[in-house]
Amino acid sequence: MIEILRVFLFGFFAIFIGLFFMGIGRKIIARIQLRLGPPFYQAFLDVGKLFSRKSITHNFVMDLGMVMSLAGLVATMLFVPIAGHTAIKTSSNLIVIMYLMAIGYLGMAMAVAASGNPNATIGVSRALTMMLGYEVPFFTVMLGLIIINGTSSLELIANSQAGSILNWNMIKFPLGFIAAEIALQAMMGEKPFDAMIAPAEIASGPMVELSGKYLGLAFLTHAVSIFVETAIIVNLFMGGASNIFTFVLKQFEIYLITVIIEAVFPRFKIEQAVKFLWTVPMSIALLQLVLIVF
């Protein structure tokens, strides 16, 4: 019983933090662009509004897919240790986390492709291409950390950095951190890696046919994915945290970097993005890997 409660608690906590980050992110971008921007709780208002509106669907796959996408991300989130806690006792295996995340993306892709709008399908095709672009360097960075720690448990990797700030992988393996940061930018779909959304080209791509609660679910999915991805980086490079507030703060720092980059960059074309990801961060990551292994 207590487990079920924890699952819910962790799930809603992640959604909350994710939406909170999104709101602050919008505010920061607005300020960089010398606008006033919406209030920091705007994301909550948006979600509330979306869920209360009537919406349209094309077939059951859209419903199934949207539910699957949030489910996948929430399930992933339950595997990620937050300040040393996980919802349920598991070995918080990194590979499991990476693959579980994919089910969320698959659900989303399926739902929007089912809508029958070619814009959405184009967006998905770009998103998947981008995924191949960032997964490889990101995994290469992870591989180095896994090999040096002899474990693929995220929790153990986080624990191994306990103590002073000098133990952080971020300090010990700066190259890896840089590569991971760039990959993270693509993972979150922020500029310059937002070719799959590209509102001006393909009408917001995947989102084009979503309305009402479907768009709301997509929002929540995005929120949880922000939470999961920053949490992974925090665990990998910043040694996790002893309490939940520090952890969220560290996550926010990571998110801040992403948002600031997002605010100032234009957009890569998809093939440029993939080429970039496979050259710059990949070679940095490989260099780091070689330094670690040999």
Partner 1 sequence: MVEIFIIPLVTAFLLAIFIRNKKVVWPLFLISNLYILLKLWTLFGKWEIEKTIYTNYELFGAKLSFTLSNNPLGWYFAFFSAVITLVISVFSLGFNQKTKENVAPIWMLIIFSNLGIFFAADWITFFMMWELMGWTSFFAITNGRDKALNEAKYYLVLSLLGASSMLIGIILLGALTGSFEIFASAYGLVQVFYSEKALSIAAIMLLLFAFFIKSAIFPFYMWPSKVYAVGPEDYITFMSSVMIKYGIYPIAMFIVPVVGSLDLPKILNTANWIQYFVGYLGAISAVLGTILAIFQTDMKKLFAYSSVANMGYILLGFASMNIVGFEGALFHAVNHMVLKAAIFLTLAAVIFRTGESEMHKLGGLVYRMPITFLTFLLGIIAAAGIPPLNGFGSKWMIIQALMSQKMIIFAIAMIFASTGAFMYLFRALASIFLGQLPDRFKDIKEVPLTMLIPMIIMMIGMLLIGVVPGVVMKPLTTALRAVGYNVNIASWTSLEGALKNSTIDLTLVFLIFLGGFVISAIMYILGNKSETVPQEDNYTGGEYPEEWGVNADRFNYSYSFYQPFKEMFEPLLEKISIDEFFASIGRNFEYMSATVQGLFRRGEGAVLLFSIGVLLLILGGWII
Residues 16-45 that bind partner 1 (CB under 8 A): none
Rounded Cα distance, 132 and 276, in Å: 12
Among 45, 56, 162, 291, binds partner 1 (CB under 8 A): 56
Taking a C-beta distance cutoff of 8 angstroms, is the pair 274, 282 a contact? no
Taking a C-beta distance cutoff of 8 angstroms, is the pair 146, 152 a contact? yes
Stretch that binds partner 1, among 61-69, 185-193, 228-236, 245-253 (CB under 8 A): 61-69
Among 217, 218, 223, 254, binds partner 1 (CB under 8 A): 217
Among 17, 19, 22, 140, binds partner 1 (CB under 8 A): 140
Among 30, 32, 67, 280, binds partner 1 (CB under 8 A): 67
The alpha-carbon radius of gyration of the chain (Å, integer) is 19
Residue 80 has φ and ψ, to the nearest 5°, of -85, 125
Rounded Cα distance, 157 and 196, in Å: 32
Per-residue 3-state assignment (H helix, E strand, C coil) for 241-284: CCCHHHHHHHHHHHHHHHHHHHHHCCCCCHHHHHHHHHHHHHHH
Instruction: At 291, list the tokens.
Output: 């330094």
**End-to-end C-alpha distance for the chain, whole angstroms:** 48
5 binds partner 1 (CB under 8 A): no
Phi-psi domain of 150 (left: phi exceeds 0; alpha: psi -120 through 50; beta: other): left
Residues 261-290 binding partner 1 (CB under 8 A) are: 269-271, 274-275, 289
Taking a C-beta distance cutoff of 8 angstroms, is the pair 114, 208 a contact? no
57 binds partner 1 (CB under 8 A): yes
159 binds partner 1 (CB under 8 A): no
**Which residues, in sequence order, are bridge partners of residue 93?**
153
Among 152, 185, 230, 258, binds partner 1 (CB under 8 A): 152
Residues 219-238 binding partner 1 (CB under 8 A) are: 220
Among 43, 70, 223, 231, binds partner 1 (CB under 8 A): 70
Residues 84-123 binding partner 1 (CB under 8 A) are: 87-88, 90-91, 93, 95-96, 99-100, 102-103, 105-106, 109-110, 113-119, 121-122
Nearer to partner 1, 93 or 246 (CB): 93
* Least Å from the CB of residue 17 to partner 1: 15
Looking at residue 46, its amino acid is: D
Among 197, 208, 226, 284, binds partner 1 (CB under 8 A): 208
Nearer to partner 1, 37 or 133 (CB): 133
Residues 178-207 binding partner 1 (CB under 8 A) are: 203
